[in-house]
Amino acid sequence: MTQRAVLLQALASTPADIERLIRGLDESNAARQTDASAWSPGALIGHLLAVEHAYQGHIRRIIEENEPLLTAFPPPAEHQPGVSVATAAERFRQSREATLSILRGLSAGDWQRKAMHETRGRISLRTLVQRLVEHDIEHTNQLVEIRQTWRNSRAAAVISTTTEDGGRLP
């Protein structure tokens, strides 16, 4: 399997991973942070969607222009009030499909096209796509950690209401 195929497969798997990780998540939990510095699941998905749009723009510019200057990505997006986390995840999936459609239509030579990134220097399209995969992994891991923190909190709450002899505290 080529490196391009591996990258495309990784990109294609992220929306399903996100949907699995938010399954059963109500809107109050979608906006809930595990601590003051952490992102909520909704904010993470909003950020993924905003970054996806930015990457699409970068990809198009690399394809259409000769070594374009690419800017850094936008700051994290917040969960949009009135937009369910499931809707945000669906929008991410649709946007990712558009990205994949662009990438699947490229030749091997297109993947080697270069750009100048304002913080990363000279990069190829392939390297840019690899960074997108790494970004997906980082934020998918954050969703896993959030879910684990919540499970641990629930388990700790159950333990704290149990007596030594196994009975439940009132």
What does the mean pLDDT of the chain come to? Answer: 86
Q: How far is CA 37 from the centre of its chain?
A: 18
- Give the SS3 label for residue 142: helix
Q: How confident is the model at residue 20 (pLDDT cuts 50, 70, 90)?
A: very high
Give mean pLDDT, residues 119-123. Answer: 93
Which H or E element spans position 46?
Answer: helix 41-64
Residue 24's region, left for phi above 0, alpha for psi from -120 to 50, else beta, is left
Query: Could you tell me which residues come within 8 angstroms of residue 19 by beta carbon, excluding any fewer than 6 positions away?
Result: 89, 93
In the chain, the domains with their CATH numbers are 3-160 (1.20.120.450)
Residue 124 has pLDDT above 80, yes or no: yes
Determine whether 163 is exposed, middle or buried from the number of CB atoms within 10 Å of its CB (0-12, 13-18, 19+). Answer: exposed
